[in-house]
Amino acid sequence: MGKYILQFGSLAGWPFRLAEGLRAAGHDSLNVIARTTDVADLDRRLPHDRVINPGPVSKPLDVLRRGRFVMEAARDASLVHYHGGIILGSRLHAWLEGLAFEQRGIPMLMSFGGGDGRIISEARAKNP
């Protein structure tokens, strides 16, 4: 696969379906998730093309693997579509992830869906 559209996240399987549809339309697209347990310890086995951390890993190894993936994606992606979250934490996104994509002229966009669009304090107050 040459340049591809990165769909990052699981978001109930939508990023995979989007990547799948783009591929069917002749556009290279890849759905990558950070780990297979995306909701606490729930292993929902949502469809995806690739996982950065397929099993339990320490926090430092998780960050290292995510950082390595960001550098790979910055080389190979033509667009990054985040589905509900970024690859690295917010500070590392500003210092490494976003900067790596920006410097290579790779557009980034973010989609939220379902619970990802909630204001957590309001959600907890209204639905304890």
**How many angstroms separate the first and last alpha carbons of the chain?**
46
β-bridge mates for residue 79, sequence order = 5
- Residue 112: the pLDDT is 81
> Highest mean pLDDT range out of 13-17, 53-57, 75-79, 95-99?
75-79
pTM for the complete prediction?
A: 0.83
Using DSSP's 3-state secondary structure scheme, residue 104 falls into coil
Number of H helices and E strands in the chain, helices first, is 5, 5
Question: Are the C-beta atoms of residues 74 and 104 closer than 8 Å to each other?
Answer: yes
Domain 4-126 carries which CATH code?
3.40.50
pLDDT for residue 55 is more than 90:
no
